[in-house]
Structure formats: structure tokens, C-alpha cells
Amino acid sequence: METNTTPNLIERFNQWLTESIIIKLLSIGFLLLILMIPASWIEDLINERQTRADEVVSEVSDKWSGSQTISGPVLVIPFTKTEIIKRWEAGRQIEEAIETVHKAFFLPDDFKVKGNVKPQLLHRGIFDVAVYTSDIAMDAVFVTPDFSAWNIPDEQVHWQEAVIVNSISDLRGIDANPIIEFGDKKITAEPSSTIGININQQVAISAASNIAEDGKSIFVTSGIVMPLGLKTRNDFTGQFKLQLSLKGSESLYFVPVGKSTQVDLSGIWSSPSFEGKLLPDDRTIDEKGFTATWNVLSFNRPFSQKWLDNDQSLGGSEFGVRLLIPADQYQKSTRTAKYHALIIILAFTALFLVEITSKIKIHPFQYILIGVALIIYYTMLLSLSEHVGYNVAYAIASVATTVLVSFYASTFLRSRQFVWLFTGLMSCFYIFIFVIIQAQDYSLLIGSIGLFLVISLLMYFSRNIKWYNETESISR
């Protein structure tokens, strides 16, 4: 009695599911979509660590002193203005003289700054914060104020109340009593809140860390005020000097208040970033430190030499230096994580081509394990980069992941040749991504050329595959 060996409909359907390339591609595509869910969490994790690092910088800066922006010196002289008010009372016109007090502001004609920045690193856990102490010497020359353009007679000018204002974004950074000279006499400084001068209505600096919004302007909320002790116009000499010891965090900015401004900065920091509205005219940077010189004219800034009351703010031309810590692991990790889908797709494509060309059956669960390993790679990269830097972390994580995936692939790939081929492909993938991350300016060009070569190789190696005849031998 002969046994019927012809497979029934269900058996043929199961066989078709097992051997169909279309079903295999659909299942791989579904696995890729599933793996995108945990992969999307990687970028959230990187952002969370970046936020934590920023919080640490903010906490340390709050206890040390924040980023500093210095604006001044500004000469402030009150004056009385008489206005005649006409009104009708009991059928007749009455004229009444009303006196109001206003303030005139004058900037120096010549302003020179010499600053020496002494940075240091403070540590909070695994995070570093760049802080500094600085010695700043200011030398300004004021011309004798002229009120004639505003039709203000000299007898209405309150010379005895004249002060010089220097805005400092964080007064906690003042490390010692400032040494101040006006002409041939030394004067003392007081905090702005004790003298009755409303600093935050006069000086606007967008780069300061200690700022408050007032309408459409952004104003510095702190400063020092130096009474000049004048009696008459004849007591005004115009020579002003200020020596300041100032602490701060990360950055130091200046506002070019002089008609001619020169700022010379130096420091023992090998990775400064010159920022703001104006770049230095001369700079030198080496492993021992940096020097930089700015020369700014009044034509280069958006404010005038003198004004009344609140007619002007000193924003829009600040410049300075930021002390960069060469630890860009979060930025590079974020850029690397953006290629997670590409790495998984290329790895799965390589496995799929090996599977159909060598007639090896790779289970979807084996695809999933390899995909999970490729995702865990990014958490390893992030955690290691916080301790040893991005480049070393990338090498360790890439080698470890490639070795792990290759050893696992050796358990189901028949030939050692295929194992070495897969290992080589994974190594090339990670080297390709590393080159893209490092060559930031040329990343789009390199990436486009690399992907073009990848798709060209895929076309070449898949040229002989019989996509609609799974049972036919594949010519080599």
C-alpha cells in the first residue's frame, strides 16, 4: 500500500511562508519597525544626560559666579529742566514753572582694557565646569561734558552728583575692592542699589547671564557706581582708571563703550572660543594659552556717545571669550545616534544577502538579538564617552559590538568565510559613520558618496539572485 507523499494545502502554505523571499523581506521590515521604538529612546537618553550636564554647570556657576559681561564706564550727570506749563483757571491763563530732574549719559572718547584670565576646572561628579578669576585694568578718557546741544545752561547741571557707572552682570564675582582713580584722586565704589541710579534702565546687554526683561529690551540688573565728588565743571579731569578682580564662569564679555575701544585679553586656556558681535583683530592660540586684541570704533556699534534718560541702551555689540571644555561627547553622540536606523538596515541587509545566497535559514529571533545589540551599542557609547571621551568610547563600543555580533553570527552561519565577511562589513559600517561624524563640514558629501557605493555594491552582489525562483540554484 503506497503512502501519499504529496503535501496538502496547509503544508504547502507553511513551506511557502518558510521559503518565500517576499515574506522574509516583510518580516525583516516589521522587525526594523519594532526596533525603531527602543532606538528612539536613545536620543532622549542623550538629551537627558546633556540636560543634566547643563544643570551641573548652572549649579556650580550659581555658587561661584555666572558668566560676566562688563559695560562701562558710563558718566552719569543729573540736571534740572524747567518747563512752563500753561493752564486756565478762573477765566484767565496761568503760567507755572515746573522743574524736573533728568540724567545725561556720556561715554568715554578713549577706552582701553587689559585683562588676564586665569581659568580652572571645578568638578561635580563626572562633569567639569570651567570657571575663572581675572585681573582687569580699565583706562578711559572722558571729554568735559557738553550740555549746550540740549540747551541746558551750566547752572542747571548737578555736577556734585556726577557719578561713573560700571555694569557687571554678576556682582558676586567681585573678588576684592576695586581700585578706582579719577584724575589725581582715588574714589570708592558702591553697589548700584545704594546710590539711587537705576542701572537696569540704562545698560542693555543680551549676552549677560544675569538679565531681566523690561518690555522689548533686556537689561543688566547689577553694577557699581562711583561718585566723582565734583563741585563745578572745572573739577572735571576726564582721566578714569579702574582695576578689578573678577570671578566668573565660562565666558567674559565686554561692551565697546569708547569712541575708540581696545581690549586685550590673555589666558592660560588652550581651547577658547571668541564670540559675540565682533571677532578679535589679532589672536594667537597654542597649548600654553591665548591672546586676543579687539579694536572697535564708534562706527562699529549701534549706539551714540551721549544721550538723555532712557533714550538708548548699550546692547548689540558685546564681544568676548568663552572657555570651551573639549568634551563634545553629547553633540557627537546625538549625531551618531541619528544613524542608528542606517546601521541596523545595513546589518540586516548583509545578513539577508548571506541567507539567500548560501541557503542558510536565519530565524527572526536571531535578527532581533542582533538588532538589540546594535541599539545597546549607543548606550555603551554614551556612558563611556562621559568618562574617556568620544573617540576612545567610539572605538571601544564599536569593537565590542562587532565582536559580539560576529561571534553570535558564527553560531548559525555555515562558513567561516561568511563570518569574516559579516565582521568586515560591520567594521566598515562603523568606520564609515565615524568618518562622517569627524568630518562635520564634509559629512553630507562623504555620506552621499558612501551610500552611493553601498547601494552599488548591493546591486552588484545581488545581480544573480533569482528573486522569483527560490528553489533554483543561484549562479555564482
Domain map (residue ranges) of the chain: 9-51+330-461, 67-326
Q: Would you state the pLDDT for residue 255?
A: 92
CA distances from 391 to 44, 338, 367, 405, 459 (A): 21, 17, 28, 21, 33
Cell numbers found for residue 189: 565704589
Q: Would you state the pLDDT for residue 192?
A: 65
Q: Would you state the pLDDT for residue 23?
A: 67
Q: Would you state the pLDDT for residue 207?
A: 32
Q: Would you state the pLDDT for residue 218?
A: 30
From 181-195, 256-270, 442-456, 460-474, the region with the lowest mean pLDDT: 460-474
Tell me the three state secondary structure of residue 10.
helix
Question: Taking 60 as the threshold, does the pLDDT of residue 186 lie above it?
Answer: yes
From 45-49, 89-93, 113-117, 413-417, the region with the lowest mean pLDDT: 89-93
Q: Would you state the pLDDT for residue 412?
A: 83
From 9-18, 238-247, 256-265, 352-361, the region with the lowest mean pLDDT: 9-18
Q: Would you state the pLDDT for residue 253?
A: 94
Question: pLDDT class for 18, splitting at 50, 70, 90?
Answer: low
Question: Taking 80 as the threshold, does the pLDDT of residue 87 lie above it?
Answer: no
Higher pLDDT, 51 or 216: 51
Q: What are phi and psi of 68, to 5 degrees?
A: -110, 135
Question: Taking 60 as the threshold, does the pLDDT of residue 298 lie above it?
Answer: yes
Question: pLDDT class for 212, splitting at 50, 70, 90?
Answer: very low
Category of 125 on φ-ψ map: left (φ > 0), alpha (ψ -120 to 50) or beta: left
Higher pLDDT, 282 or 39: 282
Q: Would you state the pLDDT for residue 403?
A: 92
The mean per-residue pLDDT over the stretch 54-61 comes to 78
Longest dimension (CA), the chain: 138
Q: Would you state the pLDDT for residue 215?
A: 32
The mean per-residue pLDDT over the stretch 362-386 comes to 85
Question: Taking 90 as the threshold, does the pLDDT of residue 440 lie above it?
Answer: no
Higher pLDDT, 21 or 112: 112
Q: Would you state the pLDDT for residue 21?
A: 64
Q: Would you state the pLDDT for residue 211?
A: 32
Higher pLDDT, 125 or 396: 396
Q: Would you state the pLDDT for residue 1?
A: 46
CA dist., res. 149 & res. 233, Å (int): 16
**Residue of 361, 350, 373, 357 whose CA lies nearest to 420:** 350
Q: Would you state the pLDDT for residue 36?
A: 75
CA dist., res. 86 & res. 88, Å (int): 7
Higher pLDDT, 388 or 213: 388
Higher pLDDT, 80 or 194: 80
State which of 27-36, 265-274, 446-455 shows the largest mean pLDDT.
Answer: 265-274
Provide the mean pLDDT of the chain. Answer: 79
Higher pLDDT, 118 or 187: 118
| Chain-centroid distance, C-alpha 161 | 43
Q: Would you state the pLDDT for residue 17?
A: 52
Cell numbers found for residue 21: 523571499
Q: Could you give the dihedral angle defined by the CA atoms of residues 336, 338, 340 and 342, in that order, rounded to the nearest 10 degrees?
A: -110
Q: What predicted TM-score, i.e. pTM, was given to this entire model?
A: 0.70
Question: Taking 50 as the threshold, does the pLDDT of residue 205 lie above it?
Answer: no
Question: pLDDT class for 112, splitting at 50, 70, 90?
Answer: very high
Question: pLDDT class for 217, splitting at 50, 70, 90?
Answer: very low
Question: pLDDT class for 476, splitting at 50, 70, 90?
Answer: very low
Burial class (CB in 10 A: 0-12, 13-18, 19+), 169: buried
Higher pLDDT, 52 or 164: 164
Q: Would you state the pLDDT for residue 196?
A: 39
Tell me the three state secondary structure of residue 413.
coil
Q: What are phi and psi of 301, to 5 degrees?
A: -130, 160
Q: Would you state the pLDDT for residue 437?
A: 81
CA dist., res. 240 & res. 183, Å (int): 6
Question: Taking 90 as the threshold, does the pLDDT of residue 358 lie above it?
Answer: no
